[in-house]
Structure 1
Amino acid sequence: MKLTRPDYAAPADAAGRKGLAPVICYPVETLPRPDLAAYRAARAGWQKTGETLVPPREGRCFTVPAGHFFRIRSIEGPQVGDLNLWNAANLSERFYSGKTRALHGTHLSTGDQLWSSHPYLRPMATITDDTLDWYGFDAFGGSVHDVIGTRCDPYTHNLLSHGGQYHHCCHSNLTRALADARALALPAAEALVHDVLNVFMCTGFTRDTGQYFMKASPVRPGDHLEFFAEIDLLGGLSACPGGDCSAEHSSDTAACHPLLVEVFAPPAPPAGWQSPAENGYDRSHGR
C-alpha cells in the first residue's frame, strides 16, 4: 500500500527538484519506421488463409507466416485478450513488452511495433490498423491496448484470495495453449509464457497513488486490431476471464465472449519490405 503521508519533510529545494523537465529515455527518431502506406496497399486482394476461435476464459495458439497479416476481432460482445508472440522457429525469441513500452509508450496503436527479447531485439509485428484508435487517452489517463499489465495469473490470485486455486487466468490459459500447440510439458510451456499486449483492455495509472487500474473496455463486436507479421510467428491469445475488465478478472462471474483471430495472405509483400534481421550487437559485452 502507498504511504498516506511521507516520513520525511521536503527539503528546501523540493520545488526545484520536482520542477525539472523530463527527458525521453529512448528517442526513437533514428528507428526505421514501417511504411504504413505500403503495408496497407498490400492488403488489396488479400485472401484469408485461416482463423482461430478463442473461447471465453480459454487460450489458443495460431501461426502467421512472415509477410502475412492477422486480425484479432471482437465478434459477440466486449472482451479483452492477452497476446503472446514467439518466433515460430525459436521460442526463446519472444515478445518483449517492457522494451516495446520503453520505445513506444504504455499503450500501442497503428504504426507501433512489437519488439522481441534480447539478444534478438527486432520488430516481430507491426500494428497496421486499430478501430479503437479514436479512444486516445481519457480523463482518467486510461487508454487501450496496453503493455503495462503483465497478465492475470494464478499465483497472484492465490496470494490475494488467501489460497484460491483458479486455473483460467490468462497465464494458465496461455500455458495450456502453448503446451498443446507444441506438445510441451506444462512446466516447459509455462517457462515460455511472457508479459503480454493487453488487446482491447482499457487501463492506466491512478494519478494519486500510481496504481494500475482497469475500466470497461470500449470494444464492441466488429472492432479489430490488425498486425503485419515481420517474422514467422507463433501467437498465443487468451480471452481474459475478466470479460471487458469493468469489474474484476480471474473469476467465473464476469460476462465473457470469444475472440476471433484471422490470418490473411497478401498477393505480394509490401513494396520494399524485408523481414528484419536479428539485432546487430556483437554480444561481446565489453570482453
Structure 2
Amino acid sequence: MAYDPIKDATSGGPMSLNLQWYKDLLKSKNSWKLVKTDYVKPNSGIAVDVPAGHTIRITQAEGPQINDVNFFSANFKNDGIRYDLGYTFNIEGMLLTKFARAWSNLPALRPIATVIDDNIDESKVPENTWPIWTGGHCSGEVNQSTGVTGHHSCHSNFMEAARSRGLDESVAAFNNINIFQPMGIVTRRHPGGGMTQGIAGQPSVSVKGEFVEFYAEIDLLVLVAHCPYGDQSSGITDAVYYTNTIEVFDTGVTPQDGPDWEEWRPEWLKVMEKYEKHGEPDIRPGFFKDAL
C-alpha cells in the first residue's frame, strides 16, 4: 500500500480539520453582525479589510458573474503571508467545498481563510465540477492570445485593488481562488504525444442571490477582481456583466490558533556552514542534530 503523506499530515496533527468547531461556528450565524457593505463593479477590483473572526460574503446581486478572490495578511508588507495555491491544492484539493481551507505560504503554512458557507444548488452544478476552486486568472497577455488587446482583465482588476493599498503588480500576479464558475479536471492528449490533465471550465450556473462566504482565520486584506468574461458563456467582447455585493460580518468568534511549528532553519544553517567549512560527509544524516 502506498504511503499517503497528505492523509497522514491531516489526520489528527496540527494540520487536521476540527470539523465540529466550524459546524458550531456556522450554527451561530444568526448572531453575526454586518459591519461593512461594498460592491465589485464591472471591469474593476477592490480591496476589503476582513479582521480575524469576521467573514466576507460575496453575493451575486444581479446575475451570474465570476469573481476572483485573493487573501493576504493585513500585515503583508511586513510578514509576507498570503494565500498559496500549491499548499491549498495539496492539502484541500482543487475544488473547495464547505469547510475547505485556504492555506498560506511558508514559513507560516497555516489556514488563513475557510469556506464557512454557501447556498450553491449542487443539483445545477455540472457533474465533476464545483464553482469554488484554486487556480489563476486572465491577464492582458492571455486576452491577447484570443485576439483581444487593451481590455480589462482579472489581472488588471487585481492591480487596481492592490494599487489602492500601495501594493504593486507582483501582488496581482499571485494565483487566487475563483468563485461562481464550475471547474473540473479533464484528460486530454498533448500535441507532443501522451496524455495530460488540465482544467475545464463551464459557464456559470449561479443565480441572483447565490453567495460564497469565507471566514478569516487571521487579519486579512482581501482583493476581489471582477472577471471580464462575465459568466464565461461567451468571449470577452460579448460578455454580459453584473455587479456583486461584498459584505463583512463580525461572528464574535475568535479563530483557532494556527499550527505551532518548531523553528528548524537556524539548526539547518549551522549544518550547512559546517559542511561548507569541513566538507561533505559520505552520507548526510537525516536529522540536523546528528550532523552537529
TM-score, reference length from structure 1: 0.80
- Change beyond 3 A, Cα 1:218–1:125: same
- Aligned with residue 213 of structure 1, among 177, 184, 200: 200
Change (3 A) 1:178 1:167: farther
Deviations 1:108-142 (CA, angstroms, capped at 9, x unpaired):
01111011111211111111112126259744x33
Name the SS for the 2:213 alignment partner. strand
| Residue 196 in structure 1 maps to residue 176 in structure 2 | yes
Q: Aligned equivalents of 2:100 and 2:124: distance in 1? A: 14
Letter in 2 for 1:26: I
Q: In structure 2, give the amino acid aligned to 1:207.
A: T
2:82 matched to which residue of 1?
A: 94
1:29 paired with 2:11, answer: yes
Map 1:112-191 to 2 at 5 A: 112-132=100-120, 134-135=122-123, 138-139=126-127, 141-147=128-134, 149-158=135-144, 160-161=145-146, 164-180=148-164, 182-184=165-167, 189-191=168-170
After superposition, the CA RMSD in angstroms is 2.3
Deviation at 1:22, TM superposition (A): 7.5
Q: How far is 1:78 from its partner?
A: 0.4
Displacement of 1:90: 1.9
| Higher percent of residues as helix | 2
Does structure 1 retain, via aligned residues, the 8 Å contact 2:66–2:181? yes
Structure 1: gaps of 5 or more residues: 1-20
The runs of 5 or more residues in structure 2 that have no matched partner are 190-196, 270-292
2:212 aligned residue: 225
Counterpart amino acid of residue 81 in structure 2: E
- One-letter code of the match for 1:192? V
Paired positions, count: 253
Q: What residue is the counterpart of 2:62 in the other structure?
A: 76
In the TM superposition, what is the alpha-carbon distance from 1:274 to its structure 2 partner?
A: 3.0
SS in 2 for 1:156: helix
Distance 1:259 1:137 in 2: 20
Deviates more, 1:228-237 or 1:238-247: 238-247
What is the CA deviation profile of residues 22-81 of structure 1, one whole-angstrom value per residue up to 9, with x for unaligned ones? 765521223331412221133232211001200012111101110111211111010110
1:115 and 1:262, CA in 2 relative to 1: closer, same or farther beyond 3 A? same
Residue 252 of structure 1 is aligned with which of 237, 247, 266? Answer: 237
Relative to structure 1, the CA distance from residue 144 to residue 286 in structure 2 (aligned partners, 3 Å threshold; closer, same or farther) is same
Contact preservation (8 Å) 2:96, 2:130: no
Q: CA deviation at 1:284?
A: 4.2
Give yes or no for contact 2:34–2:249 (8 Å, CA) kept in 1. Answer: yes
The residue type equivalent to 1:107 in the other structure is L
Identity of aligned residues (%): 28
Deviates more, 1:198-207 or 1:276-285: 276-285
State which structure, 1 or 2, has the greater radius of gyration over its C-alpha atoms: 2
Q: CA 1:23 to 1:77, structure 2 compared with 1: closer, same or farther past 3 Å?
A: farther
Runs of 4+ in structure 1 over 6 Å off: none
Question: Which residue is equivalent to 2:265?
Answer: 283
Q: Who is 1:264 aligned against? A: 249
TM-score by length of 2: 0.79
